[in-house]
Amino acid sequence: MDHALKFYINGEWVDPVQSPVTTLDVINPATELPFTKIAMGTAADVDKAVAAAKEAFVSFSQTSKEERLALLKRILEIFIRRSDEMGAAISQEMGAPLAMAKAAQAGSGTAHLMEAIKAAEIFEYAYMQGTTRVEHEPIGVVAMITPWNWPINQIAAKVAPAIATGCTMVLKPSEIAPVSAILFAEIMHEAGVPKGVFNLVHGDGPNVGVALSGHKDVDMVSFTGSTRAGVNVAQTAAPTVKRVHQELGGKSPNIILRSADLDKAVRTGVARCFGNSGQSCNAPTRLFVPQEAMDDAITIARDAAEKFRTGDPTAAETDLGPVVSQLQFDKIQDLIQAGIDEGAELVTGGTGRPAELNAGYYVRPTIFARVGHDMRISREEIFGPVLSILAYDTLDEAVEMANDTVYGLASYIQGDLKEAQALSKRLRTGNVYINDAPWDGAAPFGGYKQSGNGREYGVFGLREFVEIKGIVGYEE
């Protein structure tokens, strides 16, 4: 790639400050081979990017809503034109099947840009409350730290509302999946984003991530990633008392009610869990079924899982690509083995690659049944195509187990609509999805407990990037 060894700072592609440059191979998880290199940044690069963003904020924060909307519309137009290219890059860097990478992964970027435009058009930037004027003003310089599993989804979900509210920003994408971020920076440049408003620095967490989180001139950190890393970000940011917005891990329950069509509900649950090779923070990885339905649920889940085709992401028939890295592969293998060792019933799948694949970080689609609530596979986020089926006798028991987790990102309910509506109020999660409802890019997205704080998407995302000012006595 033309810009892989450079950073985008103050409207230009620039060399890293440090010389000689430290580089990192970017690995194609389907082949385990590098396909490009990126430069790795240091605190000096962060200082340079933050300084550019701070200077740009002076003028960009004063732009009109109409100017920012026009800019977002130009970004959207160019993003759509380069969407297939974006999907191909995501498929190569993190292993998503090509068709899915183009439609869902790259498509989510289009959706977030569109939703931010809609939200900005209706957002109440200022209003009168008696004689006091209440202003929503841009928070300032935002550090954005994004993950590898849905790379452009999380970049667009942060950048678009930041632009809409008049913030400036420094993006550190995942060093594992950085190519989509480089393409995004090219799109921002072509769209004419003012110098210093958007900046990109590659690097790892201990160097660039820490430097951004603790930087005195960064007003907010918006972080998506693991709960462990989120704790580190919050601790690093605390001395400067900056706002920290986080979307972290999950262990989402999927409760199948007795009123549900069991065959449809189980197949839907398997598909939702396995999507993106299980690498979604809100994946429904714990399937709760009535005790008397366990045997039938096992039969259905086995059949559903064994229909998934794992393999080359570029092949049209592939449903599941590899997981992203050796590190992730090893973690998933350890947890699958833990499920076996702790006595869960292995319905299908198991450790190792699928037999027909001899390279790539491919995980066998795996189903465990009769899983104990205290087993590791029921407690820990696996982040792979691994589903645990648990039994419940009463709905109260199902709710108790569903909520008995450090996480609170999402939950799922399948069955009678009125029953599901009532149950949704009892689940301690930021999102509840009823009866396989389609994704809603305007719905608030975020978690309770150790799944994070704050919300993304639509108007809710814009609110995260503003400060509230009260001008008392503005009118007589």
- Which strands sit side by side in the sheet containing 7-9, from one edge to the other? 12-14, 7-9, 198-200, 168-172, 141-145, 220-224, 243-247, 452-453
Q: Averaged over 144-154, what is the pLDDT?
A: 98
pLDDT computed for residue 308 by the predictor: 98
The answer to whether 192 touches 71, Cβ cutoff 8 Å, is yes
CATH topology of domain 7-248+451-471: Aldehyde Dehydrogenase; Chain A, domain 1 (3.40.605)
Active-site hit among 281, 380, 381, 456:
281
Q: How far apart are the first and last CA of the chain?
A: 60
pLDDT computed for residue 476 by the predictor: 81
The answer to whether 305 touches 384, Cβ cutoff 8 Å, is no
- What percentage of the chain has pLDDT greater than the value 90? 99
Residues sharing a CB contact under 8 Å with residue 18, sequence separation 6 or more, in sequence order: 42, 44, 45
Confidence label for 393 from pLDDT (cuts 50, 70 and 90): very high
Q: Averaged over 231-256, what is the pLDDT?
A: 98
Looking at domain 253-441, its CATH class is alpha beta
The pLDDT tens digits of the residues spanning 396-431 come to: 999 999 999 999 999 999 999 999 999 999 999 999
Q: What is the DSSP string of 229-268?
A: HHHHHHHHHGGGT-EEEEE-----EEEE-TTS-HHHHHHH
Confidence label for 163 from pLDDT (cuts 50, 70 and 90): very high
Task: Classify residue 209 by burial, with Cβ atoms within 10 Å: 0-12, 13-18, 19+.
Answer: buried
The pLDDT tens digits of the residues spanning 64-120 come to: 999 999 999 999 999 999 999 999 999 999 999 999 999 999 999 999 999 999 999
pLDDT computed for residue 1 by the predictor: 63
Residue 245 backbone phi and psi in degrees, to 5: -105, 130
The pLDDT tens digits of the residues spanning 333-360 come to: 999 999 999 999 999 999 999 999 999 9
Q: Averaged over 124-145, what is the pLDDT?
A: 98
Cα–Cα distance measured from residue 213 to residue 296, given in angstroms and rounded to the nearest whole number: 49
pLDDT computed for residue 293 by the predictor: 98
Cα–Cα distance measured from residue 336 to residue 314, given in angstroms and rounded to the nearest whole number: 27
pTM comes to 0.97
167 has catalytic annotation: no
Structure tokens at 337: 């083995």
Residue 68 backbone phi and psi in degrees, to 5: -70, -35
pLDDT computed for residue 2 by the predictor: 80
Task: Classify residue 425 by burial, with Cβ atoms within 10 Å: 0-12, 13-18, 19+.
Answer: exposed
85 has catalytic annotation: no
Could you give the C-alpha distances from 448 to 170, 178, 282, in angstroms and in order?
27, 29, 12
Mean confidence (pLDDT) of the chain: 98
Compute the 3-state secondary structure of the chain and give helix, strand, coil in percent, each to the nearest 5. Answer: 40, 20, 35
Give 65's Cβ-side CA count (13 Å radius): 14
Give 98's Cβ-side CA count (13 Å radius): 12
Task: Write down the domain spans for the chain.
Answer: 7-248+451-471, 253-441
Active-site hit among 247, 380, 381, 456:
247
The answer to whether 50 touches 217, Cβ cutoff 8 Å, is yes
